[in-house]
Amino acid sequence: MKKEEIEQLRIGDFHYDLPDGRIAKYPVEPRDASKLLVYSGRTITTAVFRDLPAFLPPESLLVFNNTRVIHARLLFRKPTGAVVEVFCLSPLVPEEYNVNFQQRERCAWSCMIGNAKRWKDESLQMEVASPAGSLTLVARRKGTFPSGVAVEFSWNDPSFTFSEVLEFAGKLPIPPYLNRASEEKDDETYQTVYSHVEGSVAAPTAGLHFTAGVMEKLRQKGLSTVEVTLHVGAGTFKPVKSPTIGGHGMHTECLSVSRDAIASLLAHNGKTIVVGTTSLRTVESLYYIGAKLYRRPDALPHELSVSQWEPYEPDEEIPPKTALQSILDYLDRHGEEQLISSTQILIAPGYRFRYADALVTNFHQPESTLLLLISAFVGDDWRQIYRYALDNGFRFLSYGDSSLLWRE
């Protein structure tokens, strides 16, 4: 499909009725006891998630997003009693996540501000207690940009990194549609068992069902795994307010993929099972980054980001493996072990997939870009899949049940 046709897709055509009672407020225990819907060859069956490895062919490769959710919600109480929420979205100074988290005196982030009218030009302060001692965290506004408010953070004890400051000062940001405050157990249940790269403000929820036991079953079956990183932004919850997709602006998210992971994708000849829509957006973005490098090997790092409509622009098609090889060549020329870029990719009906044969994912909100992605992956059968899930007691959204969807 051409870009003009994609832009005219009506978001109302991706609606279904989701009763509030079907939205899971808490996960099942244990995690891998959740239901698993299996869609294959246009046939739908019900299983249990712990049995996922049995549905995967030998020599499959699974792709996981290893991002970790940070305590991004900072609640500052003013002397008047008013509470201002500073929600950390993405780092500004330093701009790289891992470098920013290691700062020991000050740093700056792009933030969303709750109760913003209560915060003028004054500094906000918070006393933070931790097992290693206490400190004072100060927040100062530094300007407003389309992506958010620039906020400088400083603290009076350089023995703490900013990562540690957030851990003790902030709260975990659970999805707004849960309509409840975060609880202590969310610190465990709203993280995947393989998360270790800090940066997300929302979990890659398809991975929440995995346990050490399931991972061991994958290893015993001889299945390969690779990790990618896409830091999930608050824009993942951004509703589509325009009647057609052309009026919706996709959010930008930072991605990072190691040279080894790209080499594994390149060498793999079996089925590729992608765990979660964020992993899918990451591996599919690699194609467009590689295509740019194939055509312009001297492209600068900031030119490698993937724009929203890039997949639908007419351009020369290259083999998917050629795109991956072009990225490896680029990393080798620059002596880099990691590809770091960003993506706004919009995956909608008409999209051509390059790397994913199957997708492990939860059930998504009506009229959302994530449901567009599901429709792109399985076609109009998404309606049959979601009707089956509603009729058979599946739980929906972040803490809900899972599905394994095979692409035709």
| pLDDT at 147 (0 to 100) | 75
| pLDDT at 126 (0 to 100) | 97
- Find out if CATH 3.40.1780.10 is the number for domain 3-68+188-406: yes
Of 282, 299, 293, nearest in space to 231 by CA:
282
| pLDDT at 98 (0 to 100) | 93
| pLDDT at 403 (0 to 100) | 98
Evaluate whether 347 touches 311 at the Cβ level (below 8 Å): yes
Domain ranges in the chain are 3-68+188-406, 72-171
Query: DSSP label at 20?
Result: G
| pLDDT at 120 (0 to 100) | 87
Quick one: how far is CA 267 from the chain centroid? 25
pTM passes above 0.85:
yes
Expressed in angstroms, the distance from the first to the final Cα of the chain is 18
| pLDDT at 134 (0 to 100) | 94
Give the DSSP per-residue string, 129-144. Answer: EETTEEEEEEEEEEEE
Helices (H) and strands (E) counted in the chain, each on its own, are 10, 17
- pLDDT tens per residue across all 408 residues of the chain: 789 999 999 999 999 999 999 999 999 999 999 999 999 999 999 999 999 999 999 999 999 999 999 999 999 999 999 999 999 999 999 999 999 999 999 999 999 999 999 998 899 999 999 998 899 999 999 988 877 899 999 999 999 999 999 999 999 999 988 999 899 999 999 999 999 999 999 999 999 999 999 999 999 999 999 999 999 987 777 789 999 999 999 989 999 999 999 999 999 999 999 999 999 999 999 999 999 999 999 999 999 999 999 999 988 899 999 999 999 999 999 999 999 999 999 999 999 999 999 999 999 999 999 999 999 999 999 999 999 999 999 999 999 999 999 997
| pLDDT at 239 (0 to 100) | 85
Give the Cα separation of 181 and 22 in Å (integer). 19
